[in-house]
Amino acid sequence: MNSNRKTIIAGNWKMNKTPKEAEALLKEIVPKAAGAACEVVVCTPYVDLPAACETVKGSNIKVGAENCHFKASGAYTGEISTGMLTELGVSYVIIGHSERREYFAETDATVAEKVAVALEAGLGPIMCVGESLEQREQNVTDEHIRTQIKIGLSKVSKENMPKVVIAYEPIWAIGTGKTATSAQAQEVCKMIRGTLAEMYGADTAEKVTIQYGGSMNAKNAAELLAQPDIDGGLIGGASLKAEDFGAIIAAAK
């Protein structure tokens, strides 16, 4: 963590919790986030967003969505636009999560479109990048992630870049209980910052929040967050337990 950058701990609830369950969980999380030294974000399923925005009112928690569409409106059955999100009071949106890429055919090109519309709407995009186990074993992690970043950010100006959050998620560590060692995670996050420096200059790269998101939990959060290029976490399973999420927030000193 670097004190010049915003530290962001964000929960990604994935397809979990009904609106009533969301309200109950957030009522437990709100006091744990009070006085946090970092920005706290909860990204919930679309149907939970109204309840989430209502429940966190007056607290220091921001609400995020888990996806958005790249058009403002139109014949896209089942999709949700950035305008719909901002009207609810949503502040962030996760874009290009590995599960969206794997199960819903998202590509680096669609990620680029979504990042651009999110910024246009005033939302903070949390753009996910990461390699599979096969890619890591074949030693192509850097090339793969550099491609994801260069295409995913291809429509982002230097001026807007500090508003984008990058979440590094080694796919082999999501939901598997395996975590990259803090050294492995730092190595990739440093490479990501180096790529941003090539694209936008070192000054801009230094302002960008880079999260780690591969099975970060209450036990390993402090060690991961102590790394110089890791500025927060995108938390899956642990964000669904108020106790665990609270412990991760507390580790982000």
**Chain centre distance of CA 224:** 16
Residue with tokens 């999100």: 85
Strands (E), 14-120: 39-44, 61-65, 92-95
Task: Give CA separation, 91 vs 64, 111, 186, in Å.
Answer: 6, 18, 27
Q: Are 221 and 201 in contact (CB under 8 A)?
A: no
E strand or H helix at 10: strand 8-12
Q: Give me the half-sphere count of Cα atoms (radius 13 Å) on the Cβ side of residue 136.
A: 14
Catalytic machinery residues? 97, 169
Residue count of the chain: 253
- CA dihedral sign of residues 107, 109, 39, 169: positive
Rounded to whole angstroms, the Cα distance separating 179 from 37 reads 24
AA letter at 186: Q
